Amino acid sequence: MACSDNVVRAGLTPKYKDVSTLCQMLKYDCKAPKETLFYGQPNSSDVYETLYDPPVSDFSVSAIKVIVNCLA
């Protein structure tokens, strides 16, 4: 979740819960799973990194593959 003071809580906290406001804010758009998936893009300069960059302005994440070589 992006940093913000604009939080509407509905549970799992001792803080004020505003369930009715949260329910008014919810929006359901039914789509086929293929329409909602986004795939990672490999980093061309690092074979161990994959960038997941959804169409959300303040979010992206990189998956870093860590190779551990254990000698027994």
Residues classed as catalytic: 9
Contacts of 23 (CB under 8 A, 6+ apart): none
Tokens, residue 20 = 């009715």
Kind and range of the H or E element at 23?
helix 19-25
Q: What residue has token string 């799973």?
A: 33
